[in-house]
Chains A and B, each alone.
Chain A
Amino acid sequence: MITTPNQTQLMQGNQAMTHGALYAGARFYAGYPITPSSEIAEECSVLMPKLGGMYIQMEDEIASIAAVVGASLAGAKAFTATSGPGFSLMQENLGFAVMAEVPCVVINVQRSGPSTGLATKPAQADVMQARWGRHGDQSVVALCPSTVAECFGLTVQAFNFSEKYRIPVILVADEVVAHMREGFRIPEDGEVTVIERKRPTCHPRRYKPFETDIDGVAPLASYGSDYVFHVSSSMHGPDGFSNNDPVNATRKIEQLHRKVEFHRDEIVITRSFDIEDADVLLVAYGITARAARAAALAGREAGIKAGVLQLLTLWPFADKEIGLASERVQTIIVPEMNYAGQVAGEVQKVVGPDRDIRRVNRYNGQIITPDDILEVMTR
């Protein structure tokens, strides 16, 4: 590795995500520059060739995710990073990665929209795009960091989930987390678990790239190995060739969902702060989780028993965890940087329509402060 492990250094969120990817074994990056994610591309352009990997700047984000998918099938751990408009352009080929079950990681450093919006300002308005941005029926995994350390750790985790389950994983960061700097020590090799995709062990003639094991995941070969295989964006059978049989389609769609659903408890990561005795539960994610923690601490000083449930996994949604945490509380508050309450709506689904959820929303390019939350808490 380029930077010295075991030494705490001042590191930016975007840098930490880059190092997380390299730590996980990523050796291919294809991307297109866009604020506020460009530092990831710049860092990769320096570090990838040093490590024998590759950085390639493609002609747009459509091509970027396509090249990532291609490289992954050629055996690479591959990723790209972008922001709102670029993330929109990537959706179709992200759907390809879902359908053809190609491991890869997409970092979306959220910025304010719609469209070009406030291009350099933060937002948390792509939660639903991460979940539903593509056409068609599918599950998705999306993770969300709130600190520089989480930028690193969740990027490694994103690669691990993508490799283990043959899925694209989206890292939904935000402009503030991506650009802020904190002290961080890059772990030594072996300190953090790194998972590799399951490779076929059968005779090459018997290999079918979509014939799943009991865990719902099929081993994946690489182009150029002894295993010859075919992948397709179209509905396909276990051999990867077109198959329009309704029975096959039913099985395939169910498998795409179930391999995520069955491993939901492993994939859904939350952190809780002081929720055991809480009367007020704050459900928060990304940069806003930090404001929520500060608000909860201030609330406790003022005599309000507040706690925070931080969502590190946005999708699949932490419904069980929220259900449990919200059972005894009197008040639920969901602060987030979007108008519609993209996560608040999901929390409402969990707790039912009769319970009142207090929302704190900001959508002007400014972050939510602890005072904003405290004001709603003490209302």
Chain B
Amino acid sequence: MVVAGSGLQYLKKGITPHMWCPGCGNGIVLAMIFRVFEKLDYRMEETVVVTGIGCWGKADDYVVTNGFHGTHGRALAFATGIKAFNPRLHVVVLMGDGDCITIGGNHFIHAARRNIDLTAIIVNNFNYGMTGGQVSGTTPSGMYTSTTVYMNPERDVDICALAAVAGANYVARGTPYHGFELETNMEEALTKKGFSVVEVVSPCPTHYGKNNAMRTPVEMLKWIKGKAMTKAEYDSLDPSITGEYFPIGKLVDRDAPDFNTRYDEIRGRAMKDRTP
């Protein structure tokens, strides 16, 4: 028996224990996704969960909707083909920061620009967890990872700002600490037509925490909580210190026509045109 509202009907049976470390945010995020799926009454047949490679990219192993586990960084490109050919499907793309923003950054920009009706749920834990905690495109400058032991000399990219400027219809950020708000944002993202992005800033005590003097899940979660604030609070900060914090909640909400809608217009024009 599945408890109503739990979303457990979407969880694959018999796969526990899962592969994620104690204190990881992935399980919390996956449970939220399941609850929202149930709330939105997503049928298994019409839902495709697409993942790439990484800790969060293993999430498809635990899901009983249609699933697609692809190559590193390319999840959005595979998902684009799925959604473009069958727009009736709910296509939900789960990627980590390495997968989505670092190796797959170009696909992220163009999925947003194309405004294809996908929902990207990006778990950003600031490092490459699965391969042992190496630096990522979202590792903040000056922080430590297993390949930046003297500190990270590079700057990090703001996933949500990038999604906004590239044209995503919906952009939100949350953390596992702010569970209710995050779940609401996920629901909004899934129901939004066009490209929608939810960035989840998530703890990785095993690697990122260990390398940055936050060895326990609680320490890591407190660090994340201390950096998160509402957009109004964030906007009122002195610009010299905004880099220390990030805004959470809904950041972009617009209704530009999505790719499939626009392509239907192309079909209409092409079919009217009688020239070979």
Contact = CB atoms under 8 A, between A and B. Distances in A.
A63 interface: yes
B270 A59 contact: no
A226 B83 CA distance: 17
B71 A224 contact: no
Contacts of A228: 44-45, 64-66
Interface size range on B against A: 35 or more
Interface stretch (B25-33, B84-92, B205-213, B225-233): B84-92
A242 B110 contact: no
Contacts of B17: none
Interface in B144-165: none
A74 to B, nearest CB: 4
Contacts, number: 138
B215 interface: no
Given A49-B263, A52-B267, A233-B69, A67 B45 contact: no
Nearest to B269: A49
B86 A75 contact: yes
B71 A50 contact: no
Nearest to A234: B69
A224 B70 contact: no
A62 interface: yes
A70 B266 contact: no
A58 interface: yes
B80 A67 contact: yes
Contacts of B192: none
B198 interface: no
A72 B80 CA distance: 12
Contacts of B70: 66, 93, 96, 233
Contacts of A60: 106
B77 interface: yes
A63 B77 CA distance: 5
Identify the interface centre among B68, B83, B89, B273: most chain A CB within 10 Å of its CB.
B68
A30 interface: yes
Interface string A115-137: 00000000000000000000000
Contact of B78 (A3, A66, A224, A234): A66
Nearest to B107: A63
A176 interface: no
Nearest to B43: A228
A64 B81 CA distance: 9
B84 A71 contact: yes
A223 B66 contact: yes
Contacts of A76: 85
Given A54-B85, A73-B81, A232-B69, 9 more contacts: A49-B271, A66-B74, A70-B83, A72-B81, A96-B70, A223-B66, A223-B82, A230-B69, A232-B60
Interface of A: 2-3, 27-28, 30, 46, 49-50, 52, 54, 56, 58-60, 62-64, 66-76, 78, 92-93, 95-96, 222-234, 240-242
29 contacts: A28-B81, A28-B85, A30-B81, A59-B77, A59-B107, A59-B109, A62-B77, A63-B106, A63-B107, A66-B78, A66-B81, A67-B80, A70-B68, A70-B83, A70-B84, A71-B84, A71-B85, A74-B83, A74-B86, A76-B85, A78-B81, A222-B86, A224-B45, A225-B45, A226-B45, A230-B68, A231-B69, A232-B67, A242-B61
